[in-house]
Amino acid sequence: MATAEPLIEVTDLVKHFPIKAGLLIDREVDQVRAVDGVSFSVPRGQTLGLVGESGSGKSTVCRVMLQLLAPTSGSVRFEGQEIAGLSRRQLQPLRREMQMIFQDPYASLNPRKRVGQIVGDPLKLQGVASGAELRKQVRELLDRVGLAPEHYDRYPHEFSGGQRQRIGIARAIALKPKLVVADEPVSALDVSIQAQIVNLLDDLQDELGLTYVFVAHDIGVVRHISDRIAVMHHGKIVEQGSADQVCEHPSDDYTKKLLAAVPVPDPRESRARRERAGAAG
């Protein structure tokens, strides 16, 4: 593999949230160490999977990485440029390079806006297109994510979960970003729809040369889409490596525990595993 310059590089990232107490004057009594010294880098065109249980800090990492939350300390370099600590105004032009796909397709789309507007807004806000050109680009985007042109004038509530997630994806790729951060993009979807969305993300990566940070608690899905996987636990990365390496030969105890808890969809295998566990314990 060519040692290309990473698109995004995170070094010693820390995010602590204060716990406050007191009646009139809040005093900081403790801190939640949501992200506690996390480092990773993602080469262009590749996918890093972040796995971990709820509260492990994976979503906070995403938010801090995109400067939606200010880090307590640490560095985030995007195409070599330090972006931690930049002002809103300085970040504005970078925003179009970094987009996010959210978990809940029911909560992440404005119910009062039509699909065309939802997908077109980023283009309008960044001054990329307007008028007829805007409509044309939005129709192309809808087509690209597998929606029909007549969906342009519909409202989000008229769509199923899977279709809504496609709308969210169209919005995220509208500005031709370099980095897309997907936070649990399939966990709210039905099994038969999950695979469609994962395959769509795969295709878009190939077509547009996207770089993904893909967060999920479903290790099977993460392994499928990721080149590398980082396992988070209590705000730290306890293990990272190639997707197959982490899943097949985990070295960290927590990773092993996590993998062992994933149900095996194979009754014979699952019985054998329980017997082994029973014999051992």
Partner 1 sequence: MSPGALLSARDLRVGFATEGGLLQAVDGVSFDLAAGEVLAIVGESGSGKSVTAQTILGLTRSPNAEIGGSVKLGEVELLDASDAALRKVRGERIGMVFQDPMTSFNPVYRLGSQIVEAIRAHRGDVSKAEGRARAVELLDSVGIPDAERRVDDYPHEFSGGMRQRAMIAMALALEPEVLIADEPTTALDVTIQAQVLRLLEQLNRERGVATILITHDLGVVAEVADRVMVMYAGRVVEEGTLDEIFYDPQHPYTWGLLGSLTRLDRPRPKRLPQISGAPPSLLSLPRGCSFRPRCPHEFGKCEEMPGLEARLPDAPSHCDRCWLSPEQKREKRQVGGRIGLEAPA
Residues at the contact surface with partner 1, assessed by CB under 8 A = 53-54, 160-163, 190-196, 198-199, 202, 217-221, 223-224, 243-244, 247-248, 257-259, 261-270, 274
Other Cβ atoms less than 10 A from the Cβ of 38: the count is 26
Instruction: For partner 1, give the closer residue by CB, 76 or 210.
Output: 210
**Residue 144 token pair:** 């690209």
Distance of closest approach, residue 14 Cβ to partner 1, in angstroms: 24
Beta carbon nearer to partner 1, 274 or 276: 274
Our CB check for partner 1 shows the closer of 141 and 198 to be: 198
CB of 142 to partner 1, least distance (A): 16
- In angstroms, give the least distance from the CB of 260 to partner 1: 8
C-beta separation of 115 from 155 below 8 A = yes
Half-sphere exposure of 238 (CA within 13 A, CB side): 19
Q: Which conformational region is residue 107 in: left (phi greater than 0), alpha (psi within -120 to 50 degrees), or beta?
A: alpha
Rounded to a whole number of angstroms, the minimum distance from the CB of residue 18 to partner 1 is 20
List, in sequence order, every beta strand (DSSP E) within the chain. 6-21, 27-43, 47-51, 73-78, 81-82, 98-101, 179-183, 211-215, 228-233, 236-242
Q: Return the number of the residue (173 or 221) whose C-beta is nearest partner 1.
A: 221
User: Residue 92 and residue 202: Cα distance in Å, rounded?
Assistant: 28
Q: How many angstroms separate the CA atoms of 61 and 75, rounded?
A: 12
Q: Are 121 and 172 in contact (CB under 8 A)?
A: no
Residue 210 to residue 95: CA distance in whole angstroms: 15
Q: Which is nearer to partner 1, 94 or 204 (CB)?
A: 204
Query: In the complex, what is the shortest distance from the CB of residue 56 to partner 1, in angstroms, rounded to a whole number?
Result: 9
Q: Which residue has the tokens 């880098």?
A: 41
> What is the C-alpha to C-alpha distance for residues 131 and 199, in angstroms, rounded to an integer?
32
Report the nearest approach of partner 1 to the CB of residue 131 (Å). 33
Quick one: 44 or 224, whose CB is closer to partner 1? Answer: 224
